[in-house]
Every structure is written in C-alpha cells, then in structure tokens.
Amino acid sequence: MAEVIDEACGEEERYSGEDAAELAAPLDRPGRERNADSRDEPGEDTDPAEGRGDLGVPPLAARVRDEARAQGRAQEDPENHDGDRERGDRDDRIHSLERVVEPPVALDSFSITVYADVIRYRELFGSLFRRDLRAKYRGSVLGLAWSLLHPLVLMAVYLLVFSLLWRVAEVGSGDYWLFLLCGLPAWVFFSTAAQASSRSLLENANLIRKVRFPRQLVPLSIVATHLVGFAVMLVVVVLLSLVKLPEARDTVWLAFPLGALFACIVAGCALAIASLNALFRDVEHLLAALLLPWFFLTPILYSLDELPGVTDYPAAEFAIHWLNFLTPPIEAMRDVLFYGELPALSETLYTVVAAVVALTGGALVFSRSDDRIAVEV
C-alpha cells in the first residue's frame, strides 16, 4: 500500500512540475532569445565574468571596491579631495530616496494594468485556458465536445423541470420554454464561473509558489473556459428566437454586446471572489450557500411585471430589480431575445455601470491581496 501511495504522489508531483515548466515557458522565452542574440553577434568581446553568470563580481562588492579605490586616490592626491567630496554629495542627492520613490499609481490605471496583463501575457493565458479546458473533460470519451454538449444538456434539464413539470409563472404566451431559456445562459455562466474561480488560486498553489507570473490570469482563465459554454447557449437561444419569434429578428443581435458586458461583470466578480477566498477560506462556502436563494431571487423563472404581490410589496420588487446586479442585464437580454424590444435605457446604463464597477472592484481587491496570495495559498 505504501508503494502505491508513493507512486501516486510521485506521478502527481511530476505532472505539477510539467505544468509549471510548460506555463513558465512563455515567461522565459524573451530571456533565452536575448542570450542567444548576444552570443551570435560577431566582433564583440565577451567579458568572462558575464559568461560565468553568478561567478562574476556581485554589484554590491563592485561598488565597495570602487569606493575603496576612490578613497585611495583621494589620499594619494589631496588636491582632488574636495572635488571628490562634491561629486559624492551630488551622487547622494541623485540616489536619495526622494528621487527613487514613485508617486502612487492611480486606481483606474492599475485596473487597466491588471486586465492588460491578459494581452501582455497572452501566451501564458492561452496555456492556462487550454489546460483548464482539457482538465475539465480529461478521461472522457467525447473530450472537448462536452464543452458544447454540457450547456445544451443543462438547458434541456431546466426546460424539463421548470417548463413541463412545474411552470412557475405565465408570461402572456405559450412560449414559456423560450422565456426560460432567455434568462438561463447568464445565470448558468455566473454561477458556474463564480464557483470554479473561487478555488482556482488554491488549486494552483504549486504553480503560484514555483513561478512568478501575474496571478490574476488564473481565475480569469477559469472565466474564459466557462465563457465558451455561455457563448454556446447564447447562440442556441438566438437561433431559437429567430425561428420562433419573427418580431425579435431586428433586436436579437443586441444580445451579443449585452452578453459581452455581462462577461465583464462575471470576470470582475470572479477575480474578487478568488482573491478573497485565497485569504479567507469561508468565502467559497458562503458563495455556495447563497447561490440557491440567489437563483430564486433573480427573475429567471418569472417576470417582474407579472410577479404575484408586486403591487403589495414595492420594496421587494425594487430590491429584486435594482439591488440584485444580475437582474438588469438578464432583463435587457430577455427584452431583445423574447419580446423583440430595445432594452430599457435604465437597464442598459445599469449594465454598463455594473461592468465598470465589477472590473474596478475586482482589480482593487486583487491588488490589496496580491502580495499575500503566495503566502496564504
């Protein structure tokens, strides 16, 4: 039994090392190219100390040696002592802490930097995305085909339960199944991406300890893998709306920009959740407990206009509509997909502002916890 355990542990460590080496390759490539270029340039004399790497004189030792030589020259030539002192004072002023310390970076510029790393390190982000996508369906017969089949099967199950077996509300027409499908993709995307990203930094603890890289790429790559399923479900709903509801053909295409804004909301929330869960392990359990009541408090199974008791409890309707940041984007997508109408201006503006706030808030939470993530995981 001990031999089996040791063999399994050795295999797991080997896979972890391979993942770290594969994901670190895009980070090491620029350094290798610079070294290769410097070796290939003709007509240049290479310093032996540079070729030996760490056998060269350390910068601190070189600085001490130069200062000792300067003091020796000052003692040999007293006339230059005052000139050396002036130059030393000038160097001290240049290298003072007042010159080195940079002003604090603005919040908006740092937020852009956090998400700009996805483009700057796109090769590493692509490696993380492909690894997460392969690991999600590793060992299955269909493999990556499940990334297309899984959202379709999930939509079929929701239709069976809430459209045929238990119809929650009437929507003024016989197409309740399509009404339900218009709200499902957004909710499934948010719930699955939030849960998966909450443990992303913890599950990649070995990689985070071994390689120094932008850690926000880990939860964002998880969001990208679930974005594939969201895109598949959204395309299916668009096609069904085009076939079933001719009056929605002029507005159905607005679902894609609204879906892009919703993806920004999910990305910001996922980054904040992953960062907080790396410091406080209760976050993932709290999220799992909140998702079920959150589902019923989001107008997916019902319409806000036809909700029973909405006139008697206006505060409850206001809370569901405006305090739940998932409601306005879902209602906006339902307007263009099911009702064939332009989304309300208030809900569209709310969605845009929510996307900006989510991205900024996620970057702020990550920046405050980035230095502690490698220690806490």
In a domain? residue 3: no
Find the domain containing 92 and state its range: 60-101
In a domain? residue 54: no
In a domain? residue 33: no
Q: How far apart, in whole angstroms, are the C-alpha atoms of residue 256 and residue 241?
A: 14
pLDDT at residue 198, as a whole number: 95
Interval 70-106: pLDDT, tens: 555 545 444 444 444 444 444 444 333 333 333 444 4
pLDDT at residue 305, as a whole number: 80
Interval 189-228: pLDDT, tens: 999 999 999 999 999 998 888 888 899 999 999 999 999 9
Give, to the nearest 10 degrees, the angle between helix 176-198 and helix 282-296.
170
pLDDT band at 172 (very low <50, low <70, confident <90, very high): low
In a domain? residue 240: yes
- Whether residue 198 is found in the same domain as residue 270: yes
- Whether residue 140 is found in the same domain as residue 85: no
- Whether residue 300 is found in the same domain as residue 184: yes
pTM over cut 0.75: no
- Whether residue 80 is found in the same domain as residue 123: no
pLDDT band at 344 (very low <50, low <70, confident <90, very high): very high
Structural domain total, the chain: 2
Estimate to the nearest angstrom the gap between the alpha carbon of 46 and the chain centroid.
Answer: 43
pLDDT at residue 173, as a whole number: 56
- Whether residue 111 is found in the same domain as residue 89: no
Cα–Cα distance list, 103 to 93, 95, 98, 99, 176 (Å) = 18, 16, 10, 10, 57
Cα–Cα distance list, 85 to 68, 80, 92 (Å) = 14, 9, 10
- Whether residue 249 is found in the same domain as residue 283: yes
In a domain? residue 16: no
pLDDT at residue 15, as a whole number: 45
- Whether residue 84 is found in the same domain as residue 111: no
pLDDT band at 128 (very low <50, low <70, confident <90, very high): very high
What mean pLDDT comes out for the span 148-171? 73
pLDDT at residue 47, as a whole number: 43
pLDDT at residue 321, as a whole number: 94
- Whether residue 171 is found in the same domain as residue 314: yes
Q: Which two tokens stand for residue 143?
A: 């493999």
Give the number of other CB atoms < 10 A from CB of residue 203. Answer: 15
pLDDT above 60 for 293? yes
Q: How far apart, in whole angstroms, are the C-alpha atoms of residue 269 and residue 97?
A: 38
Interval 261-271: pLDDT, tens: 999 999 999 99
In a domain? residue 21: no
pLDDT at residue 74, as a whole number: 45
- Whether residue 70 is found in the same domain as residue 162: no
Q: Of 35-44, 275-284, 311-320, which one has max mean pLDDT?
A: 275-284
In a domain? residue 34: no
pLDDT at residue 185, as a whole number: 93
pLDDT at residue 377, as a whole number: 77
